[in-house]
Structure 1
């Protein structure tokens, strides 16, 4: 890769993180509105898990598509799927149509995910990747401050359907930069990922989402997801073997807890606490803002040994939400608890991510690390959103947030087996 391309690649990754922040706040803020308009309050799992299901289906297909179409052809196919899916979601009249549109968008994102991250691992040294993590965290600050309020205002003016289109220019810009910088990379260093084993994960999660209160199907889906996850992550991940496997295991558990809780936060506040969308938007911003600012500061320190402490704080903040829901606690406590959860993620995530994407003596290649870290985080998100959505649709918001807190506490335990030393720890 030529001298200027690492900078272009890093800029593209940071731009995509900004696009992810905008997309996340738009989706979370609009969720109660969309659920009400589509008469889908009993189908929350379907509304929130569609994009992650699509992303996971794309993971085993990504290298095959890039091999066949090349980087630019994959970009064109991905953009067509993304825009088509967004149009379908924005024009949806049923929960199923909305979920299908979100699925197409997730599928499009997954086509380039492995390609872009493996290129980053190949061409950005660890010091630069730490700076990219810091800059990516900073990309959440402005959306966290203005995103929910701006989304509500825009939805009031033009409706939620047009508001869904806000992230489009940011997504296009970031994906263009990543493909431009990494366009001459090989698609992968190994054989394509096993299709059958990888698809066990979204198949199992779909069982949870579509269980509609039928618990045998939900439990079978969860078990299938776990089995699929164990079969495709690097050896030792399920046993939390010290080093990279333990970091990947902690990443799965973290994603189950945090992203599951985050996906339902507006529903928790409006349905569980009876708050209006305005106060809910304030709380919605608290954790991502705490994550962004704390992570930006944490990555400037010379020693990154915060995953255990940070994940413990996030588990505590999430558990407080569950307790406050059961006792009908005051708004101020809810706001502070979710802010503490975000600060904990800001402390934990940089060191955890670097550990999960640094081969060290493990012998993992760049492509293996890229697929593993994407798999770990996406599996966690998918399982957390699917199980949380199923529980909340059945009236179990308290149980969902208690489960999220337990998953985060387990992530903190797994993080004790992670070596979080990075090059920045040494002169």
Structure 2
């Protein structure tokens, strides 16, 4: 992006957004559209693939590989972007995503499928961090909320079409066709991305910082990914073997995670550290609700699967809608205040989810917790990204984006593990399963309350 374009006054930015940035904006949107379509279409296809490959017992390994690898991919992509600009890791991540779809499509064993998911997580980590970094490097600060809103909006159609279409193709044809089809669909925007970003010189794209580390801490990131995988496996049971895995995984996370995060993250130091902390708390809370609320509704409240499916779809739509609102209608509201508002809305959703553990509460009311939580995330998530970029020194947006994604994944792993621990503890004491769910959902009020209280420490001075 030219220096002249970046220095234009704010009153001309609307036209600039549609003209000067048209090619990059269109390409980024296509990338996120295909990324969302692949993510939402692949996940419901995996159980069918695991069954066909006689690997149902190893399905948790297949599911866990993606999250663990995305930690490593985020670190690699972030440091690469800081050293040479976002275009290279973004293009490499997209190319790698096409390759991994082909690896999964040709799977002859559950282990090959797991390998494909691992590489997919690596690619997703690189793409996610690189897109945020590219926005920070190429767009003025005032345009970043709008770009992030557009990124969220690009997931609406995939959320409506991806899962049911993938299910029909798997049932009527083959699960392999889903992977092959996604690889073909991803190829065109990948080529377009390489062409569009290749036309921009490194000098136009970003200014590297003298503080950039010479090499990314890949060994640390790989060890952290291992710790995350061990922890996920460990909380699946409570025998001696599982507890050993929990202890090892927790030890690795506690020792190595601070080395990939800004100093003071877990102490909520003002600025970027607090922003990174809040991303982990918010993501951990939301995706725990998304994972366990449907489980409670279907297994304990005997809710129809179609109701849960509608709730999922509605969540994706309202998340995008709330993101659009914060980027357009509420753009002048301080970002840290939007984070607090989003957290309060998420607290209300958690109260609904916990209330769903009582038979007197209608299941439809409990199911509404997911879309309500999505409203909160749609408001606060892009605001946290904007704040992280505003706190980043020039040439270090990749590091900030990498830290945000790393703690996002850590937050998901940690909060889900704590939820599972509380639920399993109540079950071990002989309590009714609904009682355990109520207590576990109640626990989620703690991270959302912390977000609401600590958001002021993430504000831009």
Q: Is the contact between residue 350 and residue 444 of structure 2 (CA under 8 Å) also seen in structure 1?
A: no
For 1:44-55, list aligned pairs within 5 A: 44-55=59-70
Please state whether the residue corresponding to 1:193 is helix, strand or coil. Answer: coil
The change in CA–CA distance for 1:416 and 1:37 in structure 2 (over 3 A counts) is farther
For 1:41-190, list aligned pairs within 5 A: 43-62=58-77, 78=93, 81-92=96-107, 95-169=110-184, 171-183=186-198, 184-185=201-202, 189=209, 190=212
Q: Is the contact between residue 290 and residue 370 of structure 2 (CA under 8 Å) also seen in structure 1?
A: no
Q: 2:385 is matched with which residue?
A: 353
Question: 1:76: Cα distance to partner?
Answer: 7.4
Q: 2:258 is matched with which residue?
A: 230
Please state whether the residue corresponding to 1:242 is helix, strand or coil. Answer: coil
Q: Is the contact between residue 209 and residue 386 of structure 1 (CA under 8 Å) also seen in structure 2?
A: yes
Q: 2:13 is matched with which residue?
A: none
Please state whether the residue corresponding to 1:418 is helix, strand or coil. Answer: helix
User: Comparing 109-118 with 196-205, which one deviates more in the overlay?
Assistant: 109-118
Question: Counterparts of 1:48 and 1:391 in 2: how far apart (Å)?
Answer: 22
The change in CA–CA distance for 1:414 and 1:264 in structure 2 (over 3 A counts) is closer
Q: Is the contact between residue 45 and residue 390 of structure 1 (CA under 8 Å) also seen in structure 2?
A: no
The change in CA–CA distance for 1:322 and 1:48 in structure 2 (over 3 A counts) is farther
Question: Counterparts of 2:152 and 2:382 in 1: how far apart (Å)?
Answer: 9
The change in CA–CA distance for 1:135 and 1:114 in structure 2 (over 3 A counts) is closer
Match 1:199 to one of 222, 229, 233: 222
Question: 1:96: Cα distance to partner?
Answer: 3.5
Query: Any stretches of 5+ residues in structure 1 without a counterpart?
Result: none
Q: 1:208 is matched with which residue?
A: 231
Q: Is the contact between residue 319 and residue 402 of structure 1 (CA under 8 Å) also seen in structure 2?
A: no
User: Comparing 150-159 with 269-278, which one deviates more in the overlay?
Assistant: 269-278
Q: Is the contact between residue 280 and residue 410 of structure 2 (CA under 8 Å) also seen in structure 1?
A: yes
User: Comparing 238-247 with 93-102, which one deviates more in the overlay?
Assistant: 93-102
Question: Counterparts of 2:302 and 2:55 in 1: how far apart (Å)?
Answer: 18
Q: Is the contact between residue 25 and residue 144 of structure 1 (CA under 8 Å) also seen in structure 2?
A: yes
TM-score, normalising length: structure 2? 0.75
2:402 is the alignment partner of 1:379: no
Query: Any stretches of 5+ residues in structure 2 without a counterpart?
Result: 6-18
User: What's the CA shift string for 1:236-258, capped at 9, x where partnerless?
Assistant: 21111122211110001112222
Q: 1:248 is matched with which residue?
A: 276
Question: Counterparts of 1:401 and 1:201 in 2: how far apart (Å)?
Answer: 31
Question: Counterparts of 2:449 and 2:421 in 1: how far apart (Å)?
Answer: 25
Please state whether the residue corresponding to 2:266 is helix, strand or coil. Answer: coil
Question: 1:404: Cα distance to partner?
Answer: 6.9
**What RMSD over aligned residues (CA atoms) do the two structures have, in Å?**
4.0
User: What's the CA shift string for 1:14-63, capped at 9, x where partnerless?
Assistant: 22322232233224433554565556665553232222222222344447
Q: 1:282 is matched with which residue?
A: 310
Q: Is the contact between residue 314 and residue 371 of structure 2 (CA under 8 Å) also seen in structure 1?
A: yes
Question: Rg bigger for which structure?
Answer: 2
Match 1:8 to one of 6, 9, 23: 23
Question: Counterparts of 2:81 and 2:394 in 1: how far apart (Å)?
Answer: 25
